[in-house]
Amino acid sequence: MNPPNPVVYLLGSQAVSAVPLAPYHPLACDLLNDLSSELRASKEATAYPDVMAFAFWCRKANITQLQSQFEDGRTRLGLGLALHITPSNVPINFAFSFAFGLLAGNANIVRVPTKPFRQIDIICTTLGRLFESPKYAELKAMTAFVRYERSERITAALSENCGARVIWGGDASIKDIRKSPAPVRCVEIAFSDRYSFCLLDAGAILSLDPDSLKRLAEGFYNDAYLMDQNACSSPHLIIWKGGSADAAQEKFWTAVAEVAAQKYDLSAVHAVDKYTLFCHDAIKGNNVKYTRRHGNYVYRVGLNKLTKDMDALRGTCGYFYECDVANENVLAPIVNGKYQTLTYFGIDKTALRDFVIRRRLSGIDRIVPVGKALDIGVIWDGYDVVKTLSRIIDVV
């Protein structure tokens, strides 16, 4: 494998050892736990909530739990070498993708975003220190983090000996990457453009005391604002169950705006972009019932009804579409394969699960409480990622 320049190696080198390990190999589990400890002890790392979320995920207790859920009595090995192409707009995604590949027993080449996020430097530097230990010499030889501008030639060179490719990005980006050939037996997982929304029970909101309301608002803030609504699991559409929800909406959005005003750094360019979209929707939106603002932090566009093209309505930096419904059954006609995460509050999760199954929906891969939208895990977009990135050795 000789990828053409310019490829910058942030960690590791061109000579990556592709000899597989068993999933949840003790060395892999120890490395992730040590990485967790190092990051949580770093003053610089603690300034980044997404780094802390990754560090918390990597801790021994969580990895042990994931391993116990993984074990099914079958014998497995990694697929060899996994190439990860990670999204340009989510700083920490590359680290999770690497962890998934590592836990599956693979050597990993991870293409990180070309944008110089500080989170990338922190994790690469910390991993580099851990790789200086003789204990992790084998894993060091199995790992490379690279950065390069979009290039079909480079991706093809890096794909040449892959047993797996994990591709994160928009639909167009994934199609471009697939122009770079991979071995015929290469397993490919693609995490493409998705759409996520939130279902709130109006009565449950009205019954909240101030402390509970604040916790809910903080959870919603984490879902939507931490990634400027760029994460595939961040909500764009808010569905209010229970008929007319004016009082509940006012109570909820006022609380969200208060949290955002304290925590969110809204840049001038994003404020202008959001206001421009707001004006466009107010003037051109045929389905618009009302528009509301809570300062610059919350923009709301009320809709008369839900339509089949709802996934085309996307907000940014605190811009949301909302609609009142009598019950969740009216959601079935709008849900397509683009829908990924449904966050909820005040609604029984079992009823939501049964609704998805009963209506045989082609979308909604995740149903999680408000505040958990960004909690990435080994089950993602309907895939068991670690199992998919390993192979079964069938012994009879």
2 confidence band (pLDDT: 50, 70, 90): low
- The two beta strands, 383-384 and 379-380, are antiparallel
pLDDT mean over 136-145: 97
CB within 8 Å of 262: residues ≥ 6 apart: none
Q: Decide: 174 and 150 in contact? Cβ < 8 Å.
A: no
Kindly report, residue by residue over 214-251, the tens digit of the pLDDT: 999 999 999 999 989 988 999 999 999 986 789 999 99
Q: Please report, for residues 148, 224, 370, the alpha-carbon distance to residue 217 in angstroms, rounded to integers and kept in the order given.
A: 39, 11, 9
253: pLDDT strictly greater than 80: yes
Amino acid, res. 221? Y
* pLDDT at residue 282, rounded to an integer: 87
* pLDDT at residue 6, rounded to an integer: 87
What is the C-alpha end-to-end distance of the chain, expressed in Å?
36
321 confidence band (pLDDT: 50, 70, 90): very high
* pLDDT at residue 214, rounded to an integer: 97
3: pLDDT strictly greater than 70: no
Global pTM reads 0.91
| Domain made up of 8-193: CATH architecture | 3-Layer(aba) Sandwich (3.40)
Kindly report, residue by residue over 178-223, the tens digit of the pLDDT: 999 999 999 999 999 899 999 999 999 999 999 999 999 999 999 9
Q: What is the 3-state secondary structure (H, E, C) of 214-282?
A: HHHHHHHHHHHCCCCCCCCCCEEEEEEECCCCHHHHHHHHHHHHHHHHHHCCCCHHHHHHHHHHHHHHH
The beta strands (E) that lie in 112-172 are given as 143-147, 164-168
In percent, the amount of the chain with pLDDT more than 70 equals 98
pLDDT mean over 363-379: 95
pLDDT mean over 38-66: 95
* pLDDT at residue 286, rounded to an integer: 86
Q: Decide: 73 and 380 in contact? Cβ < 8 Å.
A: no
* pLDDT at residue 5, rounded to an integer: 55
- Rounded to 10 deg, the angle between the 60-70 and 26-41 helix axes is 150
* pLDDT at residue 326, rounded to an integer: 87
pLDDT mean over 315-327: 94
51 confidence band (pLDDT: 50, 70, 90): very high
Per-domain boundaries in the chain: 8-193, 195-369
Largest CA distance in the chain: 67
> Tokens representing 306?
């839900």
294: pLDDT strictly greater than 90: yes
| Same topology between domain 8-193 and domain 195-369 | no
When the pLDDT of each residue in the chain is averaged and rounded to a whole number, the result is 94
* pLDDT at residue 104, rounded to an integer: 98
In percent, the amount of the chain with pLDDT more than 90 equals 86
pLDDT mean over 340-351: 96
CATH superfamily of 195-369: Aldehyde Dehydrogenase; Chain A, domain 2 (3.40.309.10)
pLDDT mean over 343-369: 96
89 confidence band (pLDDT: 50, 70, 90): confident
Kindly report, residue by residue over 303-313, the tens digit of the pLDDT: 999 999 999 99
pLDDT mean over 164-183: 93
327: pLDDT strictly greater than 90: no
4: pLDDT strictly greater than 70: no
Q: Count how many residues are written for the chain.
A: 396
Q: Decide: 331 and 358 in contact? Cβ < 8 Å.
A: no
Q: Decide: 157 and 151 in contact? Cβ < 8 Å.
A: no
pLDDT mean over 139-156: 95
